[in-house]
Chains A and B, each alone.
Chain A
Amino acid sequence: MGRNPVTWLGSPTFPRAARTALGDTQLRTNLRKATTTIRAKRARAVAELADWERLRRAGEAIKNDVLANLDTYLVRLEEAVTARGGVVHWARDAEEANRIVFDLARAKGADEVVKVKSMATAEIGLNEYLRARGVRPVETDLAELIVQLGNDRPSHILVPAIHRNRSEIKEIFSRAMAEPPDSDDPRVLAEAARRHLRRRFLSAKVAVSGANFAVADTGSVVVVESEGNGRMCLTLPETLITVMGIEKLVPTWRDLEVFLQLLPRSSTAERMNPYTSVWTGVTPGDGPGEFHLVLLDNGRTATLADEVGRQALRCIRCSACLNVCPVYERTGGQAYGSVYPGPIGAILAPQLAGDMTDKQAASLPYASSLCGACYEVCPVRINIPEALTHLRARAVEARPKHTAEALAMSSAGWVFRDPRRYEAAQRAGSLSRFLAGSDGTIKRLPWPGSKWTSTRDVPAVPKESFRMWWRRNRG
């Protein structure tokens, strides 16, 4: 098995990438505006529903049920999709999933496939795989198109081109389009994208999508979007291939009543996104005549096996946690060096990559201040701080055992593993100020901290922990 492409090859560790990103003022301005805007809108959208907390608990419980009975539900989904004329494929890893999609596209004689924005296909590096074999993948989501035409990487789950401003986008379009836009007005740019893609939608033979949800009982697949490019891909081409992580199931149709309320309000802060499409197998005379569903493992079963880490599989990719994260707001998504940025990326990407000896992956659980804001907004109540501290401990355990630092850190790992212990330690840490010299650093800590201070100075813990500061200022 090759390297799992969920983290980008050659990316620097998070602290190094973050330092570079912090120097980019344009990026920080764009991000700040974006996250502040979405944060405020989201709070309003959520406040409208008096039963929001109960919906969150239901969402959490439904996903826990899915994870506990994943085998049963997957088999049920397979039966239902097959009964309605769809074909189900299983893929252990990225390579296997890519090959299935490529073989299907080639069997249709397609040298181009239109794509709906999808985290799963980004995670497996499908575009690169297809391109290397002579099939052109065309991203049809406006932001993804900007990223693709700019030979760039996405920086946000929801608004992948948030790091680009209008004049940059105009330039990217002008270089790549037959009919370049004549102004940088967003309206004109969107119109240029519409013209650029329309011909492709009308002529594409094969489309590739992800899925937001699939209903085990009925075999129905759900895609949530705004622009209509999703509907184009799901409706017009003769063949539709959907690549879906095995955790994206819900047991019954009824369960969607929970997620169709949680997702749009958490994500785009709308009461409902402009378009949601639901299809079950094939419907003769309406939409694709052929439907393939690829069920993707790619590190998910390994993640499932980790009792603390598995909660990351509840994620519905709403990106609410990105927009509240003080670290993300300053570094942007690309610093995470992975398809999944922000707090969820910090816990999901290293688990899917499945290699804690990889320095970059192992640095991700440290990309956080543990302020807890992500946990508070998460519509499925993923305790991200808990998972972060747990994964920090795992990262430490994966390091070579004999270094002094590893020894000290593995006891630090015990503290990090539990947010309550961590906060207690931080409060106790304020005591350490008394131990600090006049330059504010502590020269020696008692064992096991001494193992660490023997190689470096430790900055004294500030009076107020970051978590406390955050709660006071933002919470």
Chain B
Amino acid sequence: MDSARSDILARIRAVPRRQPAPVPRDYDTARSVEDPVGLFVERVEDYRAVVRRVSEDELPQRIGDCLARRGVSNMVAPPDLPESWRWAGTRWSLDEPPLSLSEVDSADGVLTGAAVAIAETGTIVLDAGARQGRRMLTLVPDYHLCVVRADQIEVSVPEALRRLDPTRPLTFVSGPSATSDIELDRVEGVHGPRTLEVLVVDI
């Protein structure tokens, strides 16, 4: 309502104001660690997610290993997922034309890339860009296999945010879905994927 808008703004403007001191930005805006990739792997593992380091060449085979180990037969993927990532032992449904919600719901899992990752916090950021697809794809299936390239890993939160475009739909993923709501016991997977596996490609 228009009058609500002008009322609220008027109430705010009626408060006498002094401009506060400028924001001190002396916190760390970049941090250096010896082995950011190693740190990322360690921190993702802390969330009880499975993470493996692989070379570019062995990536397709390792994707296959992951899917075989889980006995997955039916995967969804963003339309631009590289051909070589689509392991032959599995049926792939690409999200083009857009899959229906029930198609995505009935899939065993999803395979995507990532936009940026944060070593210190073990976070993967998806921005619906290359190899990631719509938000729904990484949300509804119970298993998310995610490929992160070593050069996508930043050490700290500030460094990662600088690489992101805030107007894209962003999802920060730090481990699998989890709850501690029942007697503070951590349980993985309530509504989001219960299993997160990460393959880090060394470059």
Contact with B along A135-179 (1 / 0, CB 8 A): 000001111001000000000000111100110010000000000
Asked if B121 contacts A271 (CB within 8 A), the reply is yes
Size of B's binding interface in residues, CB under 8 A: 71
Contact in complex: B136, A236 (CB < 8 Å): yes
CB-CB under 8 A for A142 and B179, given A232-B191, A257-B158: yes
B133 nearest CB neighbor, chain A only: A286
User: How many A-B contacts are there with CB distance less than 8 Å?
Assistant: 230
User: How many angstroms between the C-alpha atoms of A69 and B5 in the bound complex?
Assistant: 16
* Contact (Cβ within 8 A) A218 B4: no
Check A275 against B101 for contact (C-beta < 8 Å): no
Complex CA–CA separation, A356 to B78 (angstroms) = 56
Q: Scan B128-147; emit 1 where CB is below 8 A from any A CB, else 0.
A: 10000011100100000000
- Residue in chain A with minimal CB distance to B191: A228
**B171 surroundings in chain A (CB, below 8 A):** 231, 275-278
Q: Give A49 Cβ to nearest chain B Cβ, in Å.
A: 8
Most chain B CB atoms below 10 A, which of A38, A161, A286 = A286
Q: Which residue of B lies closest to A34 (CB)?
A: B184
User: Does residue B193 face the partner (Cβ distance < 8 Å to A)?
Assistant: yes
Minimum CB–CB distance from B19 to chain A (whole Å) comes to 6
Complex CA distance for A201 and B173, rounded to whole angstroms: 20
Q: Which residues of B contact A61 (CB under 8 A)?
A: 20-24
Contacts A190-B187, A202-B105, A231-B139; A272 near B182 (Cβ below 8 A): no
Q: Are B27 and A268 in contact, CB atoms less than 8 angstroms apart?
A: no
Distance between A11 CB and nearest chain B CB, rounded to angstroms:
24
Select the residue from A51, A160, A285, A302 with max chain B CB neighbours within 10 A: A51
Are A58's CB and B24's CB within 8 A?
yes
* Chain B 174-186: CB-based contact to A (< 8 A → 1; otherwise 0): 1111111111110
In the assembled complex, the CB of A181 is this many whole angstroms from the nearest CB of chain B, namely 11
Assess the B20–A65 pair: CB atoms within 8 A. Answer: yes
* CA distance in complex: A222, B12 (Å): 24
A57 to chain B, nearest CB (A): 5
Is residue A319 within 8 Å, beta carbon to beta carbon, of the partner chain?
A: no
Residue of B nearest to A271 (CB): B121
- Residue A183 is within 8 A (CB to CB) of chain B in the complex: no
By beta carbon, the residue of chain A nearest B167 is A280
Chain A residues touching B, range: 35 or more
Contact A227 B190 (CB under 8 A): yes
- Closest residue of chain B to A65 (Cβ to Cβ) is B20
Q: In whole Å, how far is B184's beta carbon from the nearest beta carbon of chain A?
A: 6
Q: In the assembled complex, which residues on chain A have CB atoms less than 8 Å from the CB atom of B170?
A: 276-279
Is A358 positioned at the interface, with any CB of B under 8 Å from its CB? no
Q: A64–B191 Cα gap in the complex (Å)?
A: 36
Tell me, rounded to whole Å, the shortest Cβ–Cβ distance linking A221 to chain B: 10
Cβ-based interface call for B69 (8 A): no
Q: Point out the residues of chain A lying under 8 angstroms from B203, CB to CB.
A: none
B60 at interface by CB-CB < 8 Å:
no
With A228-B177, A272-B121, A301-B12 as given contacts, are A64 and B20 in contact (CB-CB < 8 Å)?
Answer: yes
B residues with CB within 8 A of A: 1, 4-5, 7-9, 11-15, 17-29, 43, 46-47, 98, 101-102, 105, 118, 120-123, 128, 134-136, 139, 157-158, 161-162, 166-185, 187, 189-193
A-B pairs with beta carbons under 8 Å apart, 17 shown:
A50-B28, A58-B23, A65-B20, A143-B179, A159-B184, A161-B182, A202-B102, A254-B161, A257-B157, A271-B43, A271-B122, A274-B174, A277-B169, A277-B172, A280-B167, A286-B128, A286-B169
New contact pairs (19) apart from A198-B191, A227-B190, A246-B8, CB-CB < 8 Å:
A54-B24, A64-B20, A68-B19, A90-B8, A142-B182, A186-B182, A218-B167, A231-B191, A232-B192, A235-B135, A255-B23, A256-B161, A264-B121, A275-B177, A276-B171, A277-B170, A286-B169, A295-B8, A304-B12
Q: What are the nearest 7 A-B pairs in CB distance?
A: A228-B192, A301-B11, A276-B172, A272-B121, A228-B191, A257-B158, A143-B181
